[in-house]
Chain A
């Protein structure tokens, strides 16, 4: 007997976008409010897991042809490079800096290199979580 997951799939299509938006919000809010790379990454991963539950591994892989091991490694690399950047300008390792910029939509915004580090953490968390879940899920 074949189940049809119409309700699950339809609500997943909407919910995934809400969860993803919220995870991005949490990632950017991290500097002044609760949030940051780790929790943002976990929320993104939970949105992806919802996709995998509602559809199946093959379908989702067609939509998102990403190797999550590489995502994790890219994240680590970004976090490392922000540290190495401070070596280049002859500051102690992992020094951070910030400046203000007038962005088109947001107005005067504080930009920090700590955000780039957080982005690295975010990608590393997404990559690791999804690698764990998918390698257990695909295991026969």
Chain B
């Protein structure tokens, strides 16, 4: 029993509910939100510390033992991701202070952000498959509200598409859980893993695993990403940044958990499907990223490319590739938040997101320009920055397992990603300035603090990769050896 595990879920939930009573006091709301997310970050860091000392931390909610109650399981993977999610939320929060209008702030934008963080952290920490569904819904319902908040025409149109897609995928999730429950008779992930291993993963269970793959593919934008570019370009930049950094990553995390903990017995079949899905995702995402001429779409397609890349690492499933995938996942959450924030600043300065109407911003906004350049390089994976380490390890892992074609696709898409973000940089920062005298001091403030914070983390993650990799290594240890997870959750094995 360790109540520390609940804190990354409880702190945002409690303060989110508290903010409902303070609807009109926007300053107080901002202060409480900032304190709560910082406290969430601190509790995640403490959790990382105690996991690296004492191993996986367990909390049986309500004191009911493992297969019968709901267990929260904080292994290193979950704790690293909750910490990253809190950092990203803090950064996006700092950006909302200036970039989001009074009308949205009065209509519960901060409580919704906190509930979103609660859902994300809950999905990372839960050890029960139905509880995972519930936390997915907490996250998704907050995101429905956030995407439609403000009620612009585009937003409403995209909200309908986004909601229908997610409702259908949630329904499939329930159906998949029902199938799995009728086969195994349990919902606790550790117990499921044990039962599936005991029964041997036959055709029926593999079919259910593919159903889960479709569900999480829809959530993560893995091949089934048709809904993503539209709905990620609809909301304001600060909210789009938090979506791009967190929502698809929860889907990836669920794929990681499912296929390393429960469905790892038929890897020659399921993981081949995963490899092909990830390759197609990378190709189609890259095609989208170079095809468009507006900033929001280019960035949205970049989200898709990185989803494909991480899942490729998961599908290869060697120690090296998994380490790369976890590292790249952490990097990508930070980098996507940064580049979405900076993209939003460009759009709000220029008043348009069409690249051909923007030019010469570097003259008035040198800091913004170089920050964007840095984040573009980090996204593509240029050596001193954080994108490099993860990419190299995934590719090495892929080549060691003789996925030569996929590795080549991975490298090629990195090039195309670099091209697509450099296209934004060159078009909007170089050249003759189109800004008139009055527009020099036009909006686009408040990005500096979160931007600098995230950029510093990206550099730090790249330079301090050795330190981070020791923690990532502990996360991968559990993924490679599911018995560690099972033994931590079910102390008396042989249930």
Residues of A within 8 A of B (CB): 69-70, 72-73, 76-77, 80, 83-84, 86-87, 90-96
Contacts and interface: CB of A to CB of B under 8 A. Distances in A.
Given A92-B59, A92-B62, A93-B62, A69 B20 contact: yes
Contact of B3 (A76, A77, A80, A93): A93
Contacts of A73: 17, 20-21
A93 B17 contact: no
Interface string B122-148: 000000000000000000000000000
Contact of A93 (B18, B20, B21, B59): B59
A117 to B, nearest CB: 11
B3 A87 contact: yes
Interface of B: 1, 3, 6, 10, 13-14, 17-18, 20-21, 59-63
Contacts, number: 41
Contacts of B14: 80, 84
B1 A92 contact: yes
B60 A92 contact: yes
Contacts of A76: 17, 20
Given A84-B10, A87-B3, A95 B63 contact: yes
Given A73-B20, A94-B61, A94-B62, 5 more contacts: A84-B10, A90-B3, A92-B60, A92-B62, A93-B59
A72 B108 CA distance: 14
Q: Is the interface of A mostly helix, strand, loop or mixed?
A: helix
A92 B21 contact: no
Contacts of A93: 3, 6, 10, 59, 61-62
B20 A92 contact: no
Nearest to A96: B62
A117 B6 CA distance: 18
Contacts of B1: 92
Contacts of B13: 80
Contacts of B21: 70, 73
B405 to A, nearest CB: 48
B23 to A, nearest CB: 8
A69 B21 CA distance: 9
Given A92-B1, A92-B3, A93-B3, A77 B61 contact: no
A80 B17 contact: yes
From A72, A90, A93, residue with most partner B Cβ within 10 Å:
A93
What 5 pairs between A and B have smallest CB-CB spacing? A73-B20, A93-B6, A94-B62, A76-B17, A92-B63
A90 B10 CA distance: 15
A68 B311 CA distance: 45
Given A87-B3, A92-B1, A92-B3, A77 B17 contact: yes
